[in-house]
Amino acid sequence: MLDVRRMRVLREVALRGSFSAAADSLSFTQSAISQQIAALEREAGVVLVERSARGVRLTEAGEAVVRHADVILARLAEAEAELEAIAGLRGGRLRMAAFESAGASIMPLAIAAFRERHPGVELSMIQEEDDEAVAALRAGDLDLALIEGAHGRPQTPEGIELVHLLDDPMYLALPQDHPLASRSRIRLRDLADEAWIGGGLDSSCACNRLRARACEAAGFEPRVAFESDDWTAIQGLVAAGVGVSLIAELGTTAVRDDIVIRDLGNQVDDRRVYVAVPAGGYRSPAQTEMVEILQEVSRAYGARRQPLALAS
Amino acid sequence: MLDVRRMRVLREVALRGSFSAAADSLSFTQSAISQQIAALEREAGVVLVERSARGVRLTEAGEAVVRHADVILARLAEAEAELEAIAGLRGGRLRMAAFESAGASIMPLAIAAFRERHPGVELSMIQEEDDEAVAALRAGDLDLALIEGAHGRPQTPEGIELVHLLDDPMYLALPQDHPLASRSRIRLRDLADEAWIGGGLDSSCACNRLRARACEAAGFEPRVAFESDDWTAIQGLVAAGVGVSLIAELGTTAVRDDIVIRDLGNQVDDRRVYVAVPAGGYRSPAQTEMVEILQEVSRAYGARRQPLALAS
DNA sequence: AGTCTGGTATAAGTTCCACTCATGCTCGAC
DNA sequence: GTCGAGCATGAGTGGAACTTATACCAGACT
């Protein structure tokens, strides 16, 4: 097979018109050029250069090789440029996933910040709950995912690395005209007879485990009247009086007028939010940068958490 | 700059899924692969492969490199195929020139024979007289040319190599109703008072030098009444009674009905026909082959030279 | 938990390639 | 004829690349 380095030498010879001139231009000795061309001709099995006392001239075969060399070397330069773009965050892509409420809250902020700093990187995000996201990360179909977990135990999945972003407090959502809506402080056990809205225990959504744990601590088992994992649907169901629900703060980016949100204090554990990347030590520049930005955004998000906490 | 051999290794790694498998497939040791990839990553300045206990997976940068490697290696294979085609006379080109009468006689035969044997080679021919053809050969704009010379002296031009093809006898062309047309044997000196048609002495066409030499030997200086180097024009002028002319046998592929062609025996030297290629030892496969075929065709052409010689 | 297996990394040694240096050779120009 | 520009070639050296041997790591199986 033809050696590309030697093809480059031939190209320089063609350009300069002699071995000696090519040698000068490439900072080699004339001898090296002569040997390289001889070796290339051996590889090619054809004479590529017609030697004469006054420099050299390419044969038809030599011209063919140079023609291909031009294309190949250009492509090589392109490859290098692309690598440099990826390394310098001026190119490449980052495929992300987030669970619903994160996709509507901190992810848009992070994406905006990332795009501002590195407009060349192609960002994409899909909505995907924890289990699917983890599987996609493992399969290499995703580069980064936001996932949630119940308070306390990080329960890191196999082959995945988690970085904690923030603790997301769980609030109570009531219909506006609910008797407890006007109370200044609500005890969970007062809700023992209520119908609840949310996912089943087998749902991957951590909120359901948090609800179960909290109710158990309050001494009752909640009756789930309707199963849904979609915050906007849940708000609608609460407003319609189907039941009450726990709702994470990240899910309250838009709250309907006809429901009220109440803080339950430490009666319910926080949901924990993590960013997950494939384990294994290596992180792409884009991954590293996005984890960083997510941490920034999360800090800022936690810092301005006031209104609801006071409204409890 | 990225090393293409290493890119090929990376491609194999991507294809096989592990360093070990790639090593087997490329007949190297696993160690060599590991070192090559490490070196490639050093060149690239980016991690290209995510290592794990269960084989490896490419990073985004690695995938980019493989993408480029595919193109480059394909192009390399193309280059090799093209070289092989040129060497095997299944490709390439041959740019030729011939003087007028050769372009109408032996060249078409040679071209037909060449194309039959090597249909892949792109043949081209232009009409060009000796001096221009030699210059084009030297400049590399032509690969091969037919040129003519007066009898005897080969007068090889600088930087050109000549191969003799055939000796082309010169005949006399007379108007059909010329008094000498019916004579069985014509002596040149009987034509001392005729008007002659042909080129001047400064014309590159050898016929004119041959005419001058022959007439001088016959004891007179021919009066050139009209200058032309074009055989069909000359035939027309002879037919119209403007004068008489010498005409080479190669120029008699088509003879008008209203003129007669007569053999002058050894009163006029033969024109010599050569094939010329650039000197310097190297000849492309196509050049070598075409010289060979021209020799064949010329031999065959000389062998069937009978009709006019007998008609003298 | 221990071991086995399939994988990668790395140190050391060897072979081979590519380059330099020195020299010879060719051919065209003055 | 001599000179100069240019290519070829032999000898020697340094470095790259491959092999061998070994360490190491993680998952799978017992």
B54-91 confidence digits (pLDDT tens):
789 999 999 999 999 999 999 999 999 999 999 999 98
Q: Residue B251 carries which side chain, given as an amino acid letter?
A: G
Q: For the domain covering A170-269, report its CATH number.
A: 3.40.190.10
Which chain A residue lies closest to B286 (C-alpha atoms)?
A60
Query: Can you give the residue ranges of every domain in chain A?
Result: 4-87, 93-167+272-310, 170-269
User: pLDDT tens digits, residue range B104-127?
Assistant: 999 999 999 999 999 889 899 999
CB contact under 8 A, A68 and B45: no
pLDDT at A251 > cutoff 50: yes
Render B23-80 in DSSP notation, one character per residue: HHHHT--HHHHHHHHHHHHHHHTS--EEEETTEEEE-HHHHHHHHHHHHHHHHHHHHH
Mean per-residue pLDDT, A275-296: 89
Q: Which has the higher per-residue pLDDT, B175 or A141?
A: B175
Q: CA geometry: angle at A218 spanning A217 and A219, to 5°? A: 90
Mean per-residue pLDDT, A22-44: 92
**E-only strand ranges, chain B:** 49-52, 55-58, 93-98, 122-127, 144-149, 160-168, 170-175, 195-197, 223-226, 245-248, 259-263, 271-278
Report how many Cβ contacts below 8 Å link chain A to chain B. Answer: 111
User: pLDDT tens digits, residue range A106-161?
Assistant: 999 999 999 999 998 999 999 988 888 888 888 778 999 999 987 665 677 777 88
pLDDT band at B151 (very low <50, low <70, confident <90, very high): low
pLDDT band at A203 (very low <50, low <70, confident <90, very high): low
Q: Which has the higher per-residue pLDDT, B279 or A264?
A: A264
At B101, list the tokens: 């009468």
SS3 assignment, position B4: helix
Q: CA geometry: angle at A134 spanning A132 and A139, to 5°? A: 95
Architecture of the domain whose range is A93-167+272-310: 3-Layer(aba) Sandwich (3.40)
Mean per-residue pLDDT, B161-175: 92
Q: How buried is B84 (Cβ within 10 angstroms: 0-12 exposed, 13-18 middle, 19+ buried)?
A: middle
Task: Name every chain B residue with its beta carbon within 8 A of the beta carbon of A123.
Answer: none
Mean per-residue pLDDT, B200-211: 75
- Provide the pLDDT for residue B51: 87
CB contact under 8 A, A92 and B65: no
- Provide the pLDDT for residue A310: 39
* A85 touches B: beta carbon within 8 Å: no
* A141 touches B: beta carbon within 8 Å: no
Find the CB nearest B78 among A68, A86, A286: A68
* B280 touches A: beta carbon within 8 Å: yes
Residue B172 near residue B246 (C-beta atoms within 8 A): yes
SS3 assignment, position B214: helix
Helical (H) or strand (E) element with B138: helix B130-139
Mean per-residue pLDDT, B158-172: 89
pLDDT at B312 > cutoff 50: no
| A10-24, A201-215, B81-95, B177-191: range with lowest mean pLDDT | A201-215
SS (H, E, C) chain A: CCCHHHHHHHHHHHHHCCHHHHHHHHCCCHHHHHHHHHHHHHHHCCCCEEEECCEEEECHHHHHHHHHHHHHHHHHHHHHHHHHHHHCCCCCEEEEEECHHHHHCHHHHHHHHHHHHCCCCEEEEEECCHHHHHHHHHHCCCCEEEEEECCCCCCCCCCEEEEEEEEECEEEEEECCCHHHHCCCCCHHHHCCCEEECCCCCCCCHHHHHHHHHHHHHCCCCEEEECCCCHHHHHHHHHCCCCEEEEEHHHHCCCCCCEEEEECHHHCCCEEEEEEEECCCCCCHHHHHHHHHHHHHHHHHHHCCCHHHHCC
Same fold, A4-87 and A170-269: no
| Distance from CA(B22) to C1'(D18), angstroms, rounded | 15
In angstroms, the CA B203 to CA B33 distance is: 70
Residue A26 near residue A9 (C-beta atoms within 8 A): yes
| B39-48, B174-183, B302-311: range with lowest mean pLDDT | B302-311
Q: Does residue B34 lie within 7 Å of nucleic acid chain C, judged by its CB?
A: yes
Give the other-Cβ count within 10 Å of B159's Cβ. 12
In angstroms, the CA B35 to CA B30 distance is: 9
Mean per-residue pLDDT, A181-189: 85
Q: Which has the higher per-residue pLDDT, B199 or A260?
A: A260
pLDDT at A311 > cutoff 50: no
| A98-102, A210-214, B56-60, B169-173: range with lowest mean pLDDT | A210-214
pLDDT at A214 > cutoff 50: yes
* B44 touches A: beta carbon within 8 Å: yes
In angstroms, the CA B168 to CA B148 distance is: 9
- Provide the pLDDT for residue B304: 72
Say what percent of chain B tops pLDDT 90: 56
pLDDT at A237 > cutoff 90: yes
In angstroms, the CA A102 to CA A125 distance is: 11
User: pLDDT tens digits, residue range B228-273?
Assistant: 888 888 999 999 999 999 999 998 988 999 999 999 988 999 999 9
pLDDT band at B310 (very low <50, low <70, confident <90, very high): very low
Nearest chain B Cα distance for residue A282, angstroms: 7
User: pLDDT tens digits, residue range B22-49?
Assistant: 999 999 999 999 999 999 999 999 999 9
- Provide the pLDDT for residue B152: 64
Say what percent of chain A tops pLDDT 90: 55
Task: Name every chain A residue with its beta carbon within 8 A of the beta carbon of B87.
Answer: 45-46, 61
SS3 assignment, position B270: coil
User: pTM for this structure?
Assistant: 0.78
* A93 touches B: beta carbon within 8 Å: yes
pLDDT band at B157 (very low <50, low <70, confident <90, very high): confident
Find the nucleotide nearest B22 (Cα to C1′).
Answer: C7
- Provide the pLDDT for residue A238: 94
In angstroms, the CA B147 to CA B106 distance is: 12
| Distance from CA(B112) to C1'(C1), angstroms, rounded | 84
- Provide the pLDDT for residue A309: 43
Give the other-Cβ count within 10 Å of B114's Cβ. 22
Q: For the domain covering A4-87, report its CATH number.
A: 1.10.10.10
pLDDT at B194 > cutoff 60: yes
Task: Name every chain B residue with its beta carbon within 8 A of the beta carbon of A5.
Answer: 3
- Provide the pLDDT for residue B305: 66
pLDDT band at A303 (very low <50, low <70, confident <90, very high): confident
Residue A147 near residue A205 (C-beta atoms within 8 A): no
- Provide the pLDDT for residue A114: 96
In angstroms, the CA A272 to CA A256 distance is: 25
